[in-house]
Amino acid sequence: MPAPKFTIGYANGAASLVKNIIGGVTLKAKMIPLLMVAQRIIARSAKSNLRSRGKSSGKLARSIKTPMPRPTLLGVEAQVKVDSPYGRMVEEGGIIRPRHAKFLTVPLKKGMAPLRQINETFLIPTSGGWLAARRAGGGIEPLYALVTSVTMPARPFLAPALTQNRALITSLIGTGYIAAIRSAFR
């Protein structure tokens, strides 16, 4: 029988860890609890990876889910999924472009109100694009940079969780797999 394989994949745009084990119906049923433990180990590690970065709302960590493993034709599939729409962008990085406007508005200070809610703003051309600003105290206060795209660097949290725990999970699944095979032939 082939060795268990772990792969990182994407289902419906959400990052997921997929685990397949080859085996019969009885063997599949015996593997489900082990796969649930493996899911929890990876999910906990992924959440820890996110927390270790600091400055997080926790929304992405809360979106990490471990749905019940389900039997497939070839074995049992277990996933660690990220339900957040921006989970893939954080994991792999990418380019963000405006959907319904010409520019993205990037606040220059934390906690800024949306640009459309700020009165008496005007645009200043710069070498890199535009700045939205307002007059304040006899001077000009830049509020937002207007850009056509923003490149987000990859900050993986799910793939390292798998890498960090690969030996433990392989041992757990392998030991359980052997025990399940022995009990199936008794």
**pLDDT tens digits, 109-167:** 888 888 888 888 999 998 878 999 999 888 999 999 999 999 999 999 888 998 898 88
Same domain as 35, residue 87? yes
Quickly state the pLDDT bin for 13 (edges 50, 70, 90): very low
Range of the domain at 146: 94-151
pLDDT at 44 over 90: yes
Q: How much is the pTM? A: 0.69
Same domain as 37, residue 117? no
Same domain as 159, residue 85? yes
What is the rounded distance in angstroms from the CA atom of residue 112 to the CA atom of residue 133? 12
Same domain as 161, residue 84? yes
What is the rounded distance in angstroms from the CA atom of residue 61 to the CA atom of residue 157? 10
What is the rounded distance in angstroms from the CA atom of residue 144 to the CA atom of residue 110? 11
Whole-number pLDDT of residue 186: 65
Q: Compute the mean pLDDT over every residue in the chain, rounded to the nearest whole number.
A: 78
Same domain as 126, residue 81? no
Instruction: For residue 156, give the nearest of 33, 36, 46 by alpha carbon.
Output: 46
pLDDT at 66 over 90: no
Give me the count of residues in the chain.
186
Same domain as 41, residue 124? no
How many domains is the chain built from? 2
Distance of CA 14 to the CA centre of its chain: 7
Quickly state the pLDDT bin for 23 (edges 50, 70, 90): very low
Whole-number pLDDT of residue 87: 85
Across the range 37-59, mean pLDDT stands at 86
